[in-house]
Structures are given as structure tokens and as C-alpha cells.
């Protein structure tokens, strides 16, 4: 289970994260905290690292002439941020991300916006070809500080059952 503490020796404890396949229940919603306030630096760095040359993301004069009047946060950053936020709740123990579908950017994100995420379990099934593992489908939603939806996407993950995660097999993890 997420954020549990296991005793690893006398008076010694280690925090663990993630969920096993058995821990997921259809209909459960996991709120991902903390949120992240997006900075101009975050936007510029991600934009330039990914070689996105659209000036809407880093040229304030260009953006001032647009309908938004300021730079937009590049949408793949918003997606990456939400995926990262969801890891401890949903995919910390995952063997693999199997795919993402229905990615939608439903409202603009600007520097100064704080993004919060939540993921809802849509489906789960045991793997037919991989004993001790299952496929979990979630939808993740990103909301800004005003509660406006800014991004949604579905993700399929291969999740181990209890006792089958890598961390269960690595000594001293």
C-alpha cells in the first residue's frame, strides 16, 4: 500500500511506496499531493530540452500578440508532470507502462498555475500470459488551482501482485 512503513531491523524502519495489483479497486480515486506550481523556468527548460521551437512557449513578445497575452506552458510538460505526480500512488511498483490513450489538454496552463492530479481506477484484470501480474487501467486528471481541468489521459500499467515486485526480491530495498 502507498506510504507504508516496514520494519527492517530493530528500531529501524523504511518507507515504502506503490500498490500491488490486489490494492487497486475499480472506482477508487487517488488524489496526488503535493501539487506543483509551474514556473517560467520549468516551461522554458522543458521546451528547450525537447527542442520545441514554437515561440508561444518562450518568447514573451510573440505570446503577447496572441489571444492568451502570455506564454503557454508546453503541453508535454503538463503530461509529464501529471505522470510523475501519479507514480507513488499508481505505478511505483509497475513492471511497465503499457500505453496511454485519450490524452486531452482541456485548458491552457501558464507559469504561476499550480497543478494537482488525481487518478481513478477504471479497470483491472489478471494477466493471461504473466502469472503474478495484472493490468490496471486508470484515468488521470490534472486540475489547476481554480479546479479547472487542464489535462486528462488513460494509462494501462502492468502491476505485480504482492510478493512479485522487484523490490520484494531485492535484498535491503
Class of domain 4-169: alpha beta
- The pLDDT confidence band at residue 39, using thresholds 50, 70 and 90, is very high
Report the pLDDT value the prediction gives residue 6, as an integer from 0 to 100. Answer: 72
Distance CA 31, CA 2 (A): 12
Q: What is the CB neighbour count within 10 angstroms for residue 63?
A: 18
Please state the length of the chain: 173
Instruction: Render pLDDT for 50-84 as a digit per residue (tens, 0 to 9).
Output: 999 999 999 999 999 999 999 999 999 999 999 99
Identify the DSSP state of 23. G
Distance CA 65, CA 89 (A): 41
Instruction: Render pLDDT for 134-170 as a digit per residue (tens, 0 to 9).
Output: 999 999 999 999 999 999 999 999 999 988 888 878 7
Q: Which residue has the cell 506543483?
A: 36
Region 112-128: what's the mean pLDDT? 97
Amino acid at each position: 500500500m502507498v506510504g507504508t512503513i516496514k520494519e527492517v531491523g530493530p528500531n529501524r524502519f523504511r518507507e515504502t511506496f506503490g500498490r500491488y495489483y490486489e490494492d487497486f479497486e475499480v472506482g477508487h480515486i487517488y488524489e496526488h499531493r503535493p501539487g506543483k506550481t509551474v514556473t517560467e523556468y520549468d516551461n522554458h527548460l522543458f521546451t528547450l530540452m525537447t527542442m520545441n521551437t514554437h515561440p508561444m512557449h518562450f518568447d514573451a513578445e510573440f505570446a503577447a500578440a496572441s489571444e492568451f497575452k502570455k506564454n503557454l506552458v508546453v503541453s508535454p510538460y503538463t503530461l509529464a508532470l501529471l505522470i510523475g505526480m501519479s507514480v507513488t500512488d499508481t505505478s511505483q511498483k509497475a513492471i511497465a507502462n503499457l500505453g496511454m490513450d485519450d490524452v486531452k489538454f482541456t485548458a491552457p496552463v501558464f507559469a504561476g498555475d499550480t497543478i494537482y492530479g488525481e487518478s481513478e481506477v477504471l479497470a483491472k484484470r489478471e494477466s493471461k500470459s504473466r502469472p503474478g501480474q495484472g493490468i490496471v487501467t486508470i484515468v488521470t486528471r490534472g486540475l489547476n488551482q481554480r479546479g479547472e481541468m487542464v489535462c486528462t489521459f488513460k494509462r494501462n500499467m502492468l502491476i505485480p501482485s504482492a510478493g512479485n515486485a522487484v523490490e520484494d526480491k531485492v535484498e535491503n530495498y
